Amino acid sequence: MGHIILFFSGGEIMVVVFFALLFFGADAIPGLARTIGKGMREFNKATADLKNEFENHTSEIKQDLNKLTDKLEKGTTETKRKIEDELKD
């Protein structure tokens, strides 16, 4: 929630707090804050899990591409060497 506060000035935060007190009452605010905090934690966890899953899949693809590139370079080098050997003869 610290990132969201950066976008609000002190006066705007006071207006939001005032309306929250008006709509929910002083007794409901702590429970509401806990619920919002829990939701933010779950969202951040889900975002991190999704990012890790994406990185795992892309790392497998990168490894496969590196193997393929190595094979192609090896094949190209061998073919070039064979052509050069044939041209020398």
- The rounded Cα 34 to chain-centroid distance in angstroms is 25
Does the pLDDT of residue 77 top 60, yes or no?
yes
Q: Which of residues 81 and 21 earns the better pLDDT score?
A: 81
pLDDT at 1 over 50: no
Half-sphere exposure of 79 (CA within 13 A, CB side): 6
pLDDT per residue over 30-66, tens digit each? 888 899 899 999 999 999 999 999 998 898 889 999 9
Question: Over the stretch 2-30, which tens digit does the pLDDT of each residue have?
Answer: 455 556 677 887 888 888 888 888 888 88
For residues 7 and 42, the answer to whether their CB atoms sit within 8 Å is no
